[in-house]
Amino acid sequence: MRLTRMFLPTLKESPADAEVISHRLMTRSGMIRKVAAGIYNLLPMGLRVIRNVERIVREEMTRSGAQEVSMPFVLPAELWKESGRWDVYGSELLRVQDRHGRDFCLGPTHEEVVTDMVRREVRSYRQLPLNLFQIQTKFRDEIRPRFGLMRGREFVMKDAYSFHSTDECAEREYRNMYDTYMRIFERCGLLFRAVEAETGQIGGSFSHEFMVLASTGEDAIAGCSSCPYAANTERAEIGEPVAGMGPSPPDVKEKAIEEVRTPGMKSVEEVSAFLKVPPARLIKTLIYSTDKGPVAALVAGDCEINEAKLKRAVGTETLALADEKAVGGATGAPMGFAGPVGLRIPLYADWAVRDISGGVAGANSADAHIINVAPGRDFKARYGDLRAIREGDPCPRCGSPIEIKRGIEVGHIFKLGAKYSAAMNSTFLDENGGARPFIMGCYGIGIGRTAAAAIEQNHDAEGIIWPRPLAPFDCHLVPVNVNDSETVKASEAVYSSLVEKGYDVLYDDRDERAGVKFKDADLIGVPVRITVSSKTLKEGAVEVKERKAEGARLVKTECLAEEVKKILAVKCAPGG
């Protein structure tokens, strides 16, 4: 591709709304342009990268035995009403009406449509298993679209859905998809980790997220420092502590509770400093509104509550911190003074609370706390693992210290069971002629987000450093001076010989200063830069520089193709 002919508007400045590096660099390198919040045009440079991700995903999905289909983007409300999600999906679902006033939505995910498709065609266990995938546009009216393609409203996803007659078969396919995802992200050339993820209401351990490691990632990953255990911090379990290992001195255990004045002191830090009690002895009490009514969650003052764990413990679909009014209703006090003693709503407490003695808690009245609180004696709670895991906590598998890393979720695999098939009366006939709901799994990959995550992980101050498999071009050819006929002649020869050998070459044939061209080359991040100048031509050579390496080297023109081949040779996917 000749740069003079390419629709490639690069920018010196980052757009004002670009908070993360991938968004800045994708815009500056002419990959994307914003149309509306969370909605983008993909320009030729951007589409090349997206197509690379898609190609790897498509090849590996097909190799795994899945079959590609294409489902519509505009979906009838009836199917969503059947599954019950029309009412519970909330405002992320963009609803529209046709000219007859019929309800539709823009597809944010396709469980309903695929379940409907399969129930119409598949009658017998003999037609199973089946895994169907598509690479297609999704729409989610995200509350805060941001970070460019990373969290768009309209975005491209590979989504796959599998159908099985037995649980064992569904689990086999889950493992097959797990392995397939490992191959996909390896082939993309990314540093990533598969982590155990939150399964929400569905339960079981059958959900993994694939996280590209990057310090700018939105998600926190708890990984063991010595065994392979890794989990989303939302999910990461913390074992029950050994009793008696709590933070409190035993001598204060027997004292009766006593109310003390704590005017205006609401935060753990304020109360702890004022009463001269370490945060670990405070019983932080948070009131939540749930679909089971208000509940109180108790954690030690030096810990954070993990809402996903609380949600599971309570068994509620919805969970939100209670507002001032709801807190007042539950405790009779303004916010900041809730405590478990005398509270008449269900109490859920983290293990660590059980071991507190001489505890401090809100008094459920304004400007007051109580001291000498003894859990068990002064209140009864349901105990469990409710706090967020921290760096250094013991690994739930082997006990070694946990490390917290940051990542970007690019893929998610899920064993669904019969959630959708049962709700949508979607059945097959088993060996005995009995009707049973399909056992399902679903498997997603964010295509645009994978490209963005690749940049978050691979860049420097000058621009993108594309992993070879995702790079928009293989080589970036820079003639230093297009007004020098020798240089042009040699550049044209290099260009046609590399193109002939099957390489994608971006040929910067502009009449620009070399400095400008080099800056753009660094910004765009193609793996190999080849510079042609009259100076090196005198030695029969061109200059070759890898984007990821520091220095350049001279290569004889006749050895160039071999050199490029060597640099671009990448490890094939396992078995590929």
Q: How many helices (H) and strands (E) does the chain have?
A: 16, 31
Stretch that binds ligand ATP, among 26-34, 150-158, 249-257, 326-334 (CB under 6 A): 150-158
- Closest among 457, 42, 423 to 211, alpha carbons compared: 457
**Cis upstream peptide for 250 (omega within 30°):** no
C-beta of residue 210 within 8 angstroms of C-beta of residue 409:
yes
Q: Which does 446 bind (CB under 5 to 8 A by kind): ligand ATP, Mg ion, none?
A: ligand ATP
C-beta closer to ligand ATP: residue 95 or 510: 95
* DSSP H or E run through 182: helix 167-187
Stretch that binds ligand ATP, among 152-160, 227-235, 246-254, 535-543 (CB under 6 A): 152-160
C-beta of residue 469 within 8 angstroms of C-beta of residue 187:
yes
C-beta closer to Mg ion: residue 309 or 468: 309
Beta bridge partners of 42: 32
Stretch that binds ligand ATP, among 161-169, 200-208, 262-270, 446-454 (CB under 6 A): 446-454
- Closest among 459, 453, 461 to 407, alpha carbons compared: 453
Find the binder of Mg ion among 153, 235, 284, 412 (CB under 5 A).
Answer: 412
**Which residues have a Cβ under 8 Å from the Cβ of 479 and sit 6 or more positions away?**
487, 488, 490, 491, 508, 509, 531, 532, 533
Find the binder of ligand ATP among 359, 362, 448, 525 (CB under 6 A).
Answer: 448
> Could you say whether residue 142 binds ligand ATP (CB under 6 A)?
yes
Angle at 269 between CA 267 and CA 272, to 5 degrees: 105
Q: Which does 449 bind (CB under 5 to 8 A by kind): Mg ion, ligand ATP, none?
A: ligand ATP
Find the binder of ligand ATP among 407, 446, 472, 479 (CB under 6 A).
Answer: 446
State phi, psi for 532 to the nearest 5 degrees.
-110, 125
Q: Which does 336 bind (CB under 5 to 8 A by kind): ligand ATP, Mg ion, none?
A: none
C-beta closer to Mg ion: residue 157 or 271: 157
> Could you say whether residue 449 binds ligand ATP (CB under 6 A)?
yes
Find the binder of ligand ATP among 132, 410, 524, 532 (CB under 6 A).
Answer: 410
> Could you say whether residue 196 binds ligand ATP (CB under 6 A)?
no
Q: Which does 157 bind (CB under 5 to 8 A by kind): ligand ATP, Mg ion, none?
A: ligand ATP
Distance of CA 543 to the CA centre of its chain: 40
C-beta of residue 152 within 8 angstroms of C-beta of residue 138:
no
**Rounded Cα gap, residues 304 and 286, in angstroms:** 11
C-beta of residue 563 within 8 angstroms of C-beta of residue 553:
no
Smallest distance from Mg ion to CB 408, Å: 11
C-beta of residue 503 within 8 angstroms of C-beta of residue 496:
no
C-beta of residue 93 within 8 angstroms of C-beta of residue 141:
yes
Find the binder of ligand ATP among 350, 409, 474, 508 (CB under 6 A).
Answer: 409
> Could you say whether residue 157 binds ligand ATP (CB under 6 A)?
yes
> Could you say whether residue 140 binds ligand ATP (CB under 6 A)?
yes
> Could you say whether residue 24 binds Mg ion (CB under 5 A)?
no
> Could you say whether residue 362 binds ligand ATP (CB under 6 A)?
no
Smallest distance from ligand ATP to CB 244, Å: 39
**Rounded Cα gap, residues 68 and 131, in angstroms:** 9
Site for ligand ATP in 27-86 (CB under 6 A): none
**Which residues have a Cβ under 8 Å from the Cβ of 346 and sit 6 or more positions away?**
292, 293, 295, 296, 314, 382
C-beta of residue 527 within 8 angstroms of C-beta of residue 466:
yes
C-beta closer to Mg ion: residue 412 or 449: 412
> Could you say whether residue 151 binds ligand ATP (CB under 6 A)?
yes
Smallest distance from ligand ATP to CB 415, Å: 13
Binding site for Mg ion (CB under 5 A): 412
Binding site for ligand ATP (CB under 6 A): 109, 140, 142, 151-152, 155, 157, 409-412, 444, 446, 448-449
